[in-house]
C-alpha cells in the first residue's frame, strides 16, 4: 500500500496546469476589488447581542447563586 501512495505522489497527477499562476494573477487584476470597510451593526443586531449577553449574565448569576446556596447548606 505504501508503494501505491509513493507512485501516486511521484506521478504528480495533482499538479496544476501550465501557466496556472499567471492566469489566476491576471484574473485577480481584472476582477474589481471592493472597498472593505467594516460594516456597522444594525439596531436589531445590537438588540440580539444585548439579549444574548443578558441571557448569559442571567445563567452565570444563576450558577453563582446555586453554588452559594449549596456551599451555605454544608
For the chain, the domain total comes to 1
Distance CA 74, CA 66 (A): 13
Distance CA 5, CA 38 (A): 46
Q: What is the pLDDT of residues 30-71, one digit of tens each?
A: 888 777 777 888 899 999 999 999 999 999 999 999 999 999
* Residue 3 belongs to a domain: yes
Full domain range(s) for residue 21: 1-30
Q: What is the pLDDT of residues 21-32, one digit of tens each?
A: 999 999 988 888
* Residue 51 belongs to a domain: no
What is the pLDDT averaged over residues 18-23? 91
The answer, yes or no, to whether residue 1 has pLDDT greater than 80, is no
* Residue 26 belongs to a domain: yes
* Residue 35 belongs to a domain: no
* Residue 5 belongs to a domain: yes
Amino acid at each position: 500500500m505504501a508503494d501505491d501512495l509513493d507512485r501516486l505522489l511521484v506521478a504528480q497527477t495533482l499538479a496544476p496546469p501550465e501557466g496556472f499562476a499567471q492566469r489566476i494573477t491576471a484574473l485577480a487584476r481584472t476582477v474589481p476589488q471592493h472597498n472593505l470597510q467594516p460594516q456597522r451593526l444594525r439596531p436589531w443586531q445590537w438588540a440580539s447581542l444585548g439579549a444574548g449577553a443578558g441571557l448569559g449574565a442571567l445563567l452565570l448569576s444563576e450558577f453563582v447563586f446555586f453554588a452559594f446556596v449549596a456551599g451555605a447548606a454544608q
